[in-house]
Amino acid sequence: AQSVTQLGSHVSVSEGALVLLRCNYSSSVPPYLFWYVQYPNQGLQLLLKYTSAATLVKGINGFEAEFKKSETSFHLTKPSAHMSDAAEYFCAVGPSGTYKYIFGTGTRLKVLA
Amino acid sequence: GAGVSQTPSNKVTEKGKYVELRCDPISGHTALYWYRQSLGQGPEFLIYFQGTGAADDSGLPNDRFFAVRPEGSVSTLKIQRTERGDSAVYLCASSLTVGQDTQYFGPGTRLTVL
């Protein structure tokens, strides 16, 4: 069975500081991995996805994530946080060729001025 | 182009009532998905349509929940005899095809059962 664990339900960073949101997955088959962002009262927006090509994936708004099979991790990073990055972030796993995304419980990012 | 739209954005109902939640997918997307997001949780899969047929409804919690997509475009999620535990945000997503394509999500319908 597939599962996703996001460490830290709340993360606070100062504006301009590094953003690191952690995601570990469990999958018995090669996974597709996703990061979505959810702003208040809005739907989930895809930040980036990993589909077994390059292990370092670049997404929108300056975010990137690295797939590390040995660590079963897919952590999301951004070198410099902006106030507009404040939102909830969800990691999801979807075994290749399937439609059932399994989501983590989310990490709420707060950016301090 | 237009994204996935969902109506209503908010729905308040009383325990025992029937509700319908509507999803309008991105034009041309053949696959449509419903998820439920409870407070403090990530979205959980409910049902998936490929075209008009429900290809997988294994996530529906019980037989009070039903969904249709009669013409392969708009979908309606129907909940009978609502219970307080049904309160959640119901998300709809669509993708061009099934499997490898990214799922694009709508803004959700917040259902509150009093």
Residue B31, SS3 per DSSP: strand
pLDDT tens digit sequence for A40-56: 878 899 999 998 778 89
Length of chain A counted residue by residue: 113
pLDDT above 80 (res B29): yes
- Record the tokens describing residue B66, joined without a space: 């039903």
The reply to whether residue A96 touches residue B100, judged by beta carbons under 8 angstroms, is: yes
Q: Strands (DSSP E) along chain B, which ranges?
A: 5-7, 10-13, 19-24, 31-37, 44-50, 53-56, 65-68, 75-79, 88-95, 104-105, 109-113
The amino acid that residue B63 corresponds to is D
When computed from its CA atoms, the radius of gyration of chain A, rounded to whole angstroms, is: 13
The amino acid that residue B51 corresponds to is G
| Chain A interface test: which of B35, B44, B100, B104 (most A C-beta within 10 Å) | B100
The confidence band for A101, taking pLDDT boundaries of 50, 70 and 90, is: confident
A-proximal residues of B, 2-61, CB under 8 Å: 3-4, 31, 33, 35, 40-45, 48, 56, 59
Closest CA to B49 of B33, B70, B71, B60: B33
| CB-CB neighbors (< 8 A) of B100 in chain A | 32, 51, 96-97
pLDDT tens digit sequence for B47-90: 999 888 888 898 999 999 999 999 989 999 999 999 999 999 99
CA distances for B24 relative to A69, B4, B38, angstroms: 37, 6, 22
